[in-house]
Structure 1
Amino acid sequence: MPPSASDTVMATAAALRVVLGKLKRRLREETGSRGLSGSQVAVLGHLEREGSKTVTELAELEGVRQQSMGATVASLETAGLLKGAPHPTDGRRTILSLTPKARAWIKASRAAREDWLFHTIQIRLSPAEQKRLAAAVELLQRLVEP
């Protein structure tokens, strides 16, 4: 009995999850996190995409306890990647933002990942496969858009 359409979609979903996980790990291996933990990289990413946040807001975004996020933030401040400023309406809270050093780190890390992808695509895929990949990227974008 041939697989149903839903069986095919389920198999595609499982394969996509696996391959995207491998791609994410490979990008991390190729470019390295340059001494930062996954949690630290995630915090930098949130602040770069969404702007300044408090420790509480970052903890909620990452689904961790405020104390755990406090330790992550403290290490990033010590490394010179985050700076704090008093909250404009609540002096007990601190608003965290990226330093120029953090922005440079993010830019260099992103460039390294894109460079690895560019060269890998050129080397491993034929021109026809590169076109198919470009079309697949458009489909993947539709999956993640609201």
Structure 2
Amino acid sequence: MVERDPAAIADELQVVVGALVRRMRAVSPASAVNLSQVSILKRLDREGPHSVADLARHDQLTHQSITVSVAGLVQRRLVRRTPDPHDGRRKLLAITAAGRRLLAERRLAGHEILSDALATRLNPTERGQVSRALTLLRRLLD
């Protein structure tokens, strides 16, 4: 067996993982929510309330672009503005139950697509190979 160049493997892995992620996102029931808005929802879900300035700083985006994204989320009632308990002049953004449902629907839709592809496009031996490869991929994260 010929050993492949690590840079070539990295390039191919990046392409394949990116394509899988894009395919899973494409089936998302939240097509009217853009990736910037999804990123905001995920951060609020993971970390709790943030101000617009906090979100802009974390994602290295302009205050104005975050404000536009947040306005759409507030309008769709996926995020709500709440007073900052430590500074009455500031507003914090918090994800709503509807925002959490939207994230859960996105995860489920992507999971179902991937699960179905594994079941229908790969035979049991190939699924075993993918499973073993996951162990190696996890090691790359350590």
Structure 2-normalised TM-score? 0.90
Of residues 90, 103, 106, the one that matches 1:106 is 103
Task: Kindly indicate whether the alpha-carbon contact (under 8 Å) linking 1:40 and 1:76 is maintained by their aligned counterparts in 2.
Answer: yes
Out of 117-126 and 7-16, give the one that drifted further: 7-16
Structure 1 residue 65, shift from structure 2 partner: 0.6
Given the alignment of the two structures, is residue 83 of structure 1 paired with residue 95 of structure 2, yes or no? no
Task: Kindly indicate whether the alpha-carbon contact (under 8 Å) linking 1:33 and 1:41 is maintained by their aligned counterparts in 2.
Answer: no
Of residues 32, 35, 57, the one that matches 1:35 is 32
Cα shift readout 1:95-122 (whole Å, capped 9, x = no counterpart)? 1111111111111111111111110000
Cα shift readout 1:53-110 (whole Å, capped 9, x = no counterpart)? 1111111222211111011111100110001111121222211111111111111111
After TM superposition, where is structure 1 displaced by more than 6 Å over at least 4 residues in a row?
A: none
Structure 1 residue 32, shift from structure 2 partner: 4.9
Query: What residue in structure 2 maps to residue 117 of structure 1?
Result: 114
Of residues 72, 96, 120, the one that matches 2:69 is 72
Q: Which one has more relative contact order, counting CA pairs under 8 Å at least 6 apart?
A: 2
Structure 1 stretches lacking a partner, 5+ long: none
Letter in 2 for 1:91: G
**CA RMSD for the aligned pairs?**
1.7
| Identity %, equivalent residues | 34
Structure 2 stretches lacking a partner, 5+ long: none
| Number of matched pairs | 141
